[in-house]
């Protein structure tokens, strides 16, 4: 477990005004932001980028605490069972609340009640790629090939129950094709085998695959969002061919379920203010990531929508994950 402290009012040039409606006594001491993964990964890096301006806005220290394990549910459990006073928060990815209830039996926390949505943070972009020698140059030609060769196309993911796995299963379901899942321990090893031609396709992080797309090692057929991504505008959305396909990893902020409204609203106001800063927007856009905040109720609607979407995919595919605590 590693901890990083961001001192308030030292890292972003802009000065943010405090909302008049906020409780002036909060925050009066450091806030702990739990990242449920090891240092150095995408979620960890994004949390650290956000923690800096958040510390300045709130005029209080923000401490990043990495609590990896059990697919992110170890850190989620710690936050869910912490005192609901706004001083312990979770940098939340789809696994802890949107998919875990349907993937993991006997979760140690209630994914529906023990965590409360505060604000949206980021939405990533996945890209559908195939090896350069694979005989498909569009989403439709890939679907046609898979239908003509059932069970012969493999797709790589960063692990069972991961966003890339579920994106592949959603593609399989909507296209009504028989493709075979090959799980890896992370996006890096999966990408290496797609580039090497040992696996034919993957739907995973655009920023990871972009260098391989540019070098010609893999061919990009579509992005997982409903609109093209600015860092690769030439890649069309998968949904243009496969109606209803959307698989963008959503990252957001949650607090323990009983956290008071005034504190949740204070935090939501802070996130919405800092995510509008042009320098922060540019930083995230350069990685193919959309950055924006929401109200708590807007984020709760997103959570419920994503839970419904992935519950159907998980149950249709018969996926389950056994995590040891």
> How do residues 154-199 score in pLDDT, each as one tens digit?
999 999 999 999 999 999 999 999 999 999 988 999 999 999 999 9
- Report the DSSP pairing between strands 62-66 and 31-35: parallel
Is 11 a residue whose pLDDT tops 50? no
Q: Which residue has the higher pLDDT, 315 or 17?
A: 315
Q: Across the chain, where does the E strand assignment appear?
A: 3-6, 31-35, 62-66, 88-92, 115-123, 126-131, 153-157, 179-183, 201-205, 218-223, 250-256, 290-291
Same domain, 7 and 113: yes
Q: How far apart are CA 269 and CA 289, in angstroms?
A: 21
Whether the Cβ atoms of residue 127 and residue 236 lie closer than 8 Å to each other: no
Task: Give the tens place of pLDDT for each residue, 143-155.
Answer: 999 999 999 999 9
Same domain, 134 and 117: no
Same domain, 11 and 104: yes
Q: How far apart are CA 170 and CA 26, in angstroms?
A: 42
**Domain's final residue, options 191, 217, 240:** 240
Both tokens of 181, joined, read 């899942």
What pLDDT does residue 325 have?
42
Residue 68, Ramachandran bin (φ over 0: left; ψ between -120 and 50: alpha; else beta): beta
What pLDDT does residue 82 have?
98
Question: Could you tell me if residue 276 is inside a domain?
Answer: yes
6-10, 39-43, 54-58, 105-109: range with lowest mean pLDDT: 6-10
Q: How far apart are CA 170 and CA 245, in angstroms?
A: 7
Is 68 a residue whose pLDDT tops 60? yes
The residue among 75, 105, 50 whose CA lies nearest residue 293 is: 50
Q: How far apart are CA 131 and CA 117, in angstroms?
A: 39
Residue 266's domain is classified under what CATH number?
A: 3.40.190.150
Is 20 a residue whose pLDDT tops 70? no
Question: Could you tell me if residue 323 is inside a domain?
Answer: no
Same domain, 113 and 253: yes
The residue among 275, 286, 226, 273 whose CA lies nearest residue 251 is: 275
Same domain, 147 and 202: yes
Is 22 a residue whose pLDDT tops 60? no
What pLDDT does residue 5 have?
52
> Crossing angle of helices 42-58/278-285, nearest 10°?
180
Question: Could you tell me if residue 303 is inside a domain?
Answer: yes
Same domain, 159 and 203: yes
Considering its fold, how many domains does the chain have in total?
2
**Domain's final residue, options 240, 258, 284:** 240
Is 324 a residue whose pLDDT tops 70? no
Question: Could you tell me if residue 29 is inside a domain?
Answer: yes
What pLDDT does residue 163 have?
93
Same domain, 106 and 132: no
Phi, psi of 64 (to 5 degrees): -85, 125
Whether the Cβ atoms of residue 193 and residue 233 lie closer than 8 Å to each other: no
Both tokens of 193, joined, read 């085998």
Q: How far apart are CA 106 and CA 294, in angstroms?
A: 31
Q: How far apart are CA 174 and CA 140, in angstroms?
A: 12
How large is the average pLDDT for residues 5-16?
43
Same domain, 130 and 81: no
Same domain, 7 and 118: yes
Question: Could you tell me if residue 325 is inside a domain?
Answer: no
Task: Give the tens place of pLDDT for each residue, 205-256.
Answer: 999 999 999 999 999 999 999 999 999 999 999 999 999 999 989 999 999 9
> Crossing angle of helices 296-317/163-175, nearest 10°?
60
How large is the average pLDDT for residues 80-105?
96
Question: Could you tell me if residue 322 is inside a domain?
Answer: no
Parent domain of 77: 3-124+249-317
Contacts of residue 133, Cβ cutoff 8 Å, sequence gap at least 6: 197
Same domain, 120 and 191: no
Whole-prediction pTM value?
0.87
**Domain's final residue, options 240, 273, 296:** 240
Is 12 a residue whose pLDDT tops 70? no
Is 84 a residue whose pLDDT tops 90? yes
Q: How much is the mean pLDDT over the chain?
A: 92
Strand partners, 314: none
How large is the average pLDDT for residues 33-41?
92
């Amino acid at each position: 477990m590693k901890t990083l402290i961001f001192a308030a009012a030292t890292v972003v040039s802009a000065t943010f005004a405090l909302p008049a409606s906020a409780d002036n006594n909060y925050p009066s001491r450091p806030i702990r932001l739990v990242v449920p993964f090891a240092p150095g990964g995408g979620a960890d890096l994004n949390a650290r980028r956000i923690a800096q301006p958040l510390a300045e806005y709130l005029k209080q220290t923000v401490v990043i605490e990495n609590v990896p394990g059990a697919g992110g549910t170890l850190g989620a459990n710690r936050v869910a069972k912490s005192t609901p006073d706004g001083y312990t928060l979770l940098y939340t990815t789809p696994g802890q609340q949107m998919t875990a209830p349907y993937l993991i039996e006997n979760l140690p926390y209630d994914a529906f009640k023990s965590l409360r949505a505060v604000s949206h943070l980021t939405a990533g972009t996945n890209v559908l790629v195939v090896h350069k020698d694979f005989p498909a140059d569009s989403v439709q030609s890939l679907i046609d090939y898979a239908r003509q060769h059932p069970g012969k196309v493999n797709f790589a993911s960063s692990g069972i129950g991961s966003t890339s796995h579920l994106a592949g299963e959603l593609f399989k379901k909507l296209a009504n094709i028989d493709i075979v899942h090959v799980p890896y321990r992370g996006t890096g090893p999966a990408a290496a085998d797609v580039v090497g031609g040992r696996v034919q396709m993957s739907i995973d992080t655009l920023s990871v695959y972009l260098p391989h797309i540019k070098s010609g090692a893999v061919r990009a057929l579509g992005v997982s969002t409903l609109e093209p991504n600015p860092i690769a505008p030439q890649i069309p959305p998968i949904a243009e061919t496969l109606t209803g396909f959307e698989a963008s990893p959503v990252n957001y902020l949650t607090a323990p379920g009983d956290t008071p409204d005034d504190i949740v609203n204070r935090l939501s106001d802070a996130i919405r203010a800092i995510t509008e800063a042009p320098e922060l927007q540019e930083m995230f856009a350069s990685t193919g990531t959309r950055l924006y905040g929401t109200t708590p109720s807007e984020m709760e609607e997103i959570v419920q929508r994503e839970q419904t979407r992935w519950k159907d995919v998980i149950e249709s595919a018969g996926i389950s994950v056994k995590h040891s605590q």
